[in-house]
Structure 1
Amino acid sequence: MPIQGSLGLDGFTRLTDRQRMNLLFGVCSSPIWARRVLAGGPFRDVDALLDRADRVLAELPDAEIDAALDGHPRIGASVSLVDNASSAREQAAVTTAADSVKAELAAKNLEYDQKFGYVYLVCASGRSAEELLDILADRLHNDPDTERRVMRSELAKINRLRLERLLSEPPTDVGVDPPAETSPPKGSGT
């Protein structure tokens, strides 16, 4: 049963395709990922949605993974709540880190960009700036193929976390009210 006031899977299903697409694009900035996830619906339960999201991501070509990475700011970079609320929330611990840690993150991010050609991506939720820096330093030792696999795995974790949060929080910016917890859905859906 969804948390009172949360969107939930039923609420997500009742949205228009355009609204669902907009929400999915907020989870992952790959348009192909969002379209393919949406095409797998309606979903019988949240696990089916999460599994579909994982499968679609695993099948995306590298060029589309790069499009997904475009939606992720560097760890430790200034992130606006307006521009990227999810990243700002996920990286919240970094904002209070010591300036020396932030400077080291910036330097290692640049080194990572130069070595691998894309932004360092890690599921930052619940992790301290120091932990994120240690992970980054360790991953700099990876070869390009290994790092690409690790980055895809981290992107899947982030997408999953964002989807779970999307369904468990009140809907925003989609022009709908959260479904009533006790009311059965009206009509046959979309």
Structure 2
Amino acid sequence: MTPSSAPPALGRFNAADDATALAALRTVCASDAWGKEVLAGRPYPDAEALYAASDAAVARLGPADLDEALAGHPPIGRPEPGDPGSAREQRGMAGAPAALRAEMLASNLAYQEKFGHVFLICATGRSAEEMLDAVRNRIDNSPQREREIVREELAKINRLRLARLAGTEGATVSTHILDTAAGRPAAGVAVALSVRDGSGTAWQPLGTSATDSDGRCKDLPALPAEAPHARLVFATEPCGAGFFPEVAVAFAVAPGEHYHVPLLLSPFGFSVYRGS
């Protein structure tokens, strides 16, 4: 793909004047050094080239540059007011119980006191429980190890944000299954994800996975940016739900959004909803 045939949004970024392009990059990462290095790599033939340039720039950030990048990220559980992107990335905390949110705040403060910077994690697609577990686990790291992890997480976040800038960001999907008859998560259930172009068109397989010991499935592939519909098919027969050997759930999606779609399963009924 040549620069002229890049996705339209990426083409506009390539063609923008330096000041406009740099301003757009600063919405991705607050590091001036990162922004200038990525800016200097234009024009990008495709999104992958842009992501690779970002990864390389993150890897070369000095200590002060990394601190500058971290300063641009709000604490987990406290997205930047008026910033829908920040709220979307931290959607997993939105519906968390008050007690868990208080624990997250206390853990954030303890982490920041030890390491001198915000706890950074690529929050997209993660539940509140997962983020709380992560900060608890990472607070025991050495400062050197934690800086390595922070750099890795920053690279992931930058990639996701650049996907929005380049117009290539698709929706993401996760799920978990609760066996209401047994009163516990349903582990080992096969889950298939597919997409279609619109009503009446054929479903196209996208990926498969299986629920873990907590009944969660969080490694499904991202959807193509242009896909308006997604479908999850749960192979529920091994759960003892003989009346429902499988459950299929189709739903509408929008680019850049995360959709957590839990399944509550009983022998003769089920329910689904959009969670957080």
Identify the TM-score tier after normalising by the shorter chain.
0.7 to 0.9
Q: Which runs of 4+ in 1 moved over 2 A?
A: none
Mapped partners of 1:58, 1:13: distance in 2: 23
| Aligned counterpart, 2:59 | 58
TM-score by length of 2: 0.57
| Aligned counterpart, 2:257 | none
| Aligned counterpart, 1:178 | none
- Please tell me whether residue 123 in structure 1 is matched to residue 155 in structure 2: no
| Aligned counterpart, 2:157 | 158
Mapped partners of 1:137, 1:34: distance in 2: 31
Show the 5 A alignment for 1:47-86: 47-80=48-81, 82=82, 84-86=83-85
| Aligned counterpart, 1:14 | 15
Aligned-pair identity (%):
45
Q: State the AA in 2 paired with 1:46.
A: A
1:55-87, CA deviations, whole angstroms, 9 ceiling, x for partnerless residues? 01100101011001111000012531x2x3322
Whether contact under 8 Å (2:25, 2:35) holds in the other structure is yes
Mapped partners of 2:80, 2:42: distance in 1: 32
Q: What is the number of equivalent residue pairs in this alignment?
A: 164
- Deviation, structure 1 residue 7: 4.6
Mapped partners of 1:40, 1:14: distance in 2: 12
DSSP 3-state at the match of 1:153 = helix
Whether contact under 8 Å (1:54, 1:156) holds in the other structure is yes
| Aligned counterpart, 2:132 | 133
Mapped partners of 1:60, 1:154: distance in 2: 14
Mapped partners of 1:7, 1:145: distance in 2: 41
DSSP 3-state at the match of 2:131 = helix
Mapped partners of 2:20, 2:104: distance in 1: 36
TM-score by length of 1: 0.81
Higher strand share: 2
Q: State the AA in 2 paired with 1:11.
A: R
| Cα RMSD, aligned residues only | 1.7
Whether contact under 8 Å (1:21, 1:34) holds in the other structure is yes
- Deviation, structure 1 residue 43: 1.4
Q: State the AA in 1 paired with 2:109.
A: L
1:105-139, CA deviations, whole angstroms, 9 ceiling, x for partnerless residues? 00000110011110000000011111100111111
